[in-house]
Chains A and B, each alone.
Chain A
Amino acid sequence: MLIYDIVVVGGGPAGLAAAIEAKKNGIDNILVIERDRELGGILQQCIHNGFGLHIFKEELTGPEYAEKFINELHELGIEYKLDTIVLDISKDKIVSAINTVDGLVNIQAKAVILAMGCRERTRGALNIAGTRPVGVYNAGMAQRLINMEGYMVGKKVIILGSGDIGLIMARRLVLEGAEVIGVLARGGYAAGLGRNVVQCLDDYNIPLMLRHNIVKINGKDRVESVVVVKTDEKKQAIPGTEEVYECDAVLLSVGLIPENELSNNLGIKLDRNTGGPIVNELMETDTEGIFACGNVLHVHDVVDYVTKESQKAGKAASEYVKNQSRSIGEFIKTKPEKGVKYIVPQKIGTDNLGKTVELFMRVNDIYKESKIIIKLDDTVIRQLKRKHMIPSEMERLVLDSRLLTGKEESVLTIEISSEEE
């Protein structure tokens, strides 16, 4: 059996940042396991710019962002295995992995960092009738095919879902010579960032079709057309509004799911709201010595936040390895209330607090001119004004730790109060 201090599962932005931070905190014996043929994860296919504004103070493309971290990993001499998939992690931190060179290997770790990322929701999760022809792609899959494999997915394309990947792929397709019929949003607003609506759709005159949905895909071998309907306030199809659009490809950008099969098998408790493990402020799961960070924990929209969160996990894992124990302390639980979809971390151990505590949350609807109200039990401890909040933009809140010390067993709630009400 191989023995490592820390095993990091996943070599994307989260895994890289966590491993590097752990190494910098004095842990020499680290192994990163990546199932792809190279490190960098999703960043390698995100060739557009807009990464690294917080951390590097410059606008990088995904591959550039990844390469900076991969270079640092090499410089620090951190070990990694490519083309290797983790099959199982046991409660006593034995990681079973397999590849074509080593066969099946068991690795005893002192701490494990889960950084498996997320995957795309597929057509099967939607109620789209019709045939199953070639030409129906998840937007991220199409992104990989076009940007890395050099394979164009279609000539006349319709995109369902107005999240950032859908918007970015609309522009990418037009630049590569395809016609994009439109980007459909089931709700009354684009799910992605405002800047992406401007620079990906408006710049190229690509229609944003709000309150529309695809209900049927036609085509024998290849996609031939789709049936589009208008949707009502509840995002339900309005009968009689069907329209047929001819196209040869359909892109689905309809959500991301944290990839937690390993965490589940291990018996780690997940948060229904995030789809990821329940963690404390050190990014430690409910299983001692197992940490989680990045999109496996909750789906992020800005990679710099992934990096910072993963650095936290890397540092905490290295402390855990050095001390071989943790000071659990009593926990403050966090609980999303009205208007809030989720909060990470789900619990805050009052023993480990630094100067500030960082909370990440998402709203569940669009809120204009509203307040984020943070309460400890029934007392308001902080109020923050926001001009504009949308579900696709994660909010980062920083609390002074003094507000929380000595408040063990309290419940911290966050709610949104809209002044328009």
Chain B
Amino acid sequence: MKKKEMICIVCPIGCHLEVIEDATSESGYIVKGHKCDKGRVYGIKEMINPTRLITSTVIIKGGNLPRLPVRTDKEIPKNKIFDCMKIINEIEVEAPIKMGDILVENILETGSNIVASRSL
């Protein structure tokens, strides 16, 4: 029986989770130690397909600042983080930009967009 201990990253509480392989349960895993359902979902996802939200900055011209903070609007698979960063590093935008403006749609076919996280 495979078992993995991990710290949940969903919120600052940081529950200590124990994820145990279990063929009889629907997801294939049993999660212990979580205080909310988000923790259970995180534990299972971490075993099957770990994902993360990515935040960075892009070059902005004509704004009050030379950099615009951006984020993925959904989590993307962990193994695509650096490919995603390569694309983010190529982006250059012109002010004005509004918070939530989409800069790249469906990045790397992940279903997630790169959006501006402030107006500038």
Chain A residues within 8 Å of B, Cβ to Cβ = 37-38, 44, 47-50, 53, 59, 61-64, 66-67, 146-150, 175-176, 193-195, 197-199, 203, 301-302, 388, 393
B65 within 8 A of A: yes
**A302–B11 alpha-carbon span in the complex (Å):** 11
* Cβ contacts under 8 Å, A44 to chain B: 118
Pairwise interchain contact A301-B9, C-beta atoms closer than 8 A: no
Pairwise interchain contact B64-A38, C-beta atoms closer than 8 A: yes
* Cβ contacts under 8 Å, A53 to chain B: 11-12
Additional 6 contacts, C-beta under 8 A, given A194-B7, A199-B52: A37-B64, A48-B55, A49-B71, A175-B54, A194-B16, A195-B9
Chain B residue with the shortest CB-CB distance to A390: B14
Pairwise interchain contact B99-A195, C-beta atoms closer than 8 A: no
Residue picked from B9, B52, B57, most chain A C-beta under 10 Å? B9
Q: Count A-B contacts at CB 8 Å.
A: 76
Pairwise interchain contact B117-A61, C-beta atoms closer than 8 A: yes
Chain B residues within 8 Å of A, Cβ to Cβ = 6-12, 14, 16, 52-57, 59, 64-67, 69, 71, 78, 81, 85, 99, 117-119
Pairwise interchain contact A203-B7, C-beta atoms closer than 8 A: no
Pairwise interchain contact A199-B9, C-beta atoms closer than 8 A: yes
* Cβ contacts under 8 Å, A195 to chain B: 7-12, 14
Pairwise interchain contact B99-A67, C-beta atoms closer than 8 A: yes
**A366–B26 alpha-carbon span in the complex (Å):** 37
* Cβ contacts under 8 Å, A50 to chain B: 12
Q: Which of A64, A66, A149 contacts B65 (CB 8 A)?
A: A149
**A66–B119 alpha-carbon span in the complex (Å):** 11
Chain A residue with the shortest CB-CB distance to B56: A175
**A163–B101 alpha-carbon span in the complex (Å):** 32
A258 CB, min distance to chain B CBs, angstroms: 21
Beyond A44-B118, A66-B118, is A301–B67 a contact (Cβ under 8 Å)? no
Pairwise interchain contact B56-A61, C-beta atoms closer than 8 A: no
Pairwise interchain contact B57-A150, C-beta atoms closer than 8 A: yes
A72 CB, min distance to chain B CBs, angstroms: 14
**A53–B10 alpha-carbon span in the complex (Å):** 9
Pairwise interchain contact B12-A148, C-beta atoms closer than 8 A: no
Chain A residue with the shortest CB-CB distance to B65: A148
What 10 A-B pairs have minimum CB-CB distances, sorted nearest first? A194-B14, A63-B118, A47-B69, A195-B9, A150-B66, A150-B67, A194-B7, A61-B117, A195-B14, A199-B9
